[in-house]
Structure 1
């Protein structure tokens, strides 16, 4: 079993309103970032609904071992994976139910980590990301644990020669997210953790302007509270035009 230290920071940046939201729940070992879509009203509501629904579900099933889950178990998944899958699907349902009137186009990305002691479940929809920084023979190495659900990544994975993301005209087109499809389910997988690992969950307001090597250098140095704020601050200084949100989780032993 490992112990963890976690910190979160969000910043409106150069936008008028903050449509990002986050969940920081060390007691449940659950952390998530959400980036809302669908205009100011829709984006803010969708991201808030996402993290509130996740928090409510995890706390409910922990408090009541006999609680009824909103979805049946998938035999292809472990119990821990089923719990994460059900939580994200419930958040999606809540957003779908609210897509009416001025909120009819709302949606949200989600990137989530559920800690299990010596391992973790990583789940995501959209282009919010999860990274792991791990000490290697040549120093700290950064690994992106999620693959964006975006038009850019879909084309690139299909073998299309793509320009840098910043130069792509449809860089903001998301192919999967909470909200648009009622039966949407997250992409998820299990990872092993080691003492010294650092996890970063973040919205694209952070990853857009910062190169991976910059993220790695910032993530490696200092207490997690300072690291989290520094990552957000540096993304803003680098020209981010979006809201910026980060959660840093350190595996301490």
Structure 2
């Protein structure tokens, strides 16, 4: 039987989405130039040609929260498509020796002819490479250690973090992501449209939820709030803590 994360129901998520005031995205912000070795490792291959990373669990491992059919299409079709299109865009360019993090952190340096393709597909590649890692069939619960302290410092409590994160995810208009990001150890929540990423601001994403319809529609249809509530049951807080410590 599916469980709701402590302190957060579908009704809570719907109310939060309706009143969310979190910024709709980072697309208009200045692009950063920071790069992180840990992020390069989490995205698979460190330079062109980029490789589709394997899922760290079976396609059905996150059921009943994320179904096997959605996982198979999401990874094997969508993420694979971003990977192939990113490689095609970069082929023959001077950027083939750069990590995806370095590329996304300085998009102004990407040739104009391929910049949109690199932004969209490079973002999709990096975002999904992180997404698979921060979920686990043994996930859920709450963070511990230094990450728990940082969450409490930034949001007051884990419950208040859940509320704010769900509001951000529910409030994304159309397609995009909601993120927990670290900046010099300080945590904050942000959203990005489409496949944009906090890497474009020089921030370190340590947790993200994909709210494109392809991430949930087969199972949840238009019930994004149910998907967001279910997501808390599969968050791999150990991995998120590792990313926080490394960032």
One fold, TM greater than 0.5? no
- Highest RCO, 1 vs 2 (Cα 8 Å, sep ≥ 6): 2
Structure in which a larger fraction of residues adopt helix: 2
TM-score, with normalisation over the residues of structure 2? 0.31
TM normalised by structure 1 equals 0.31
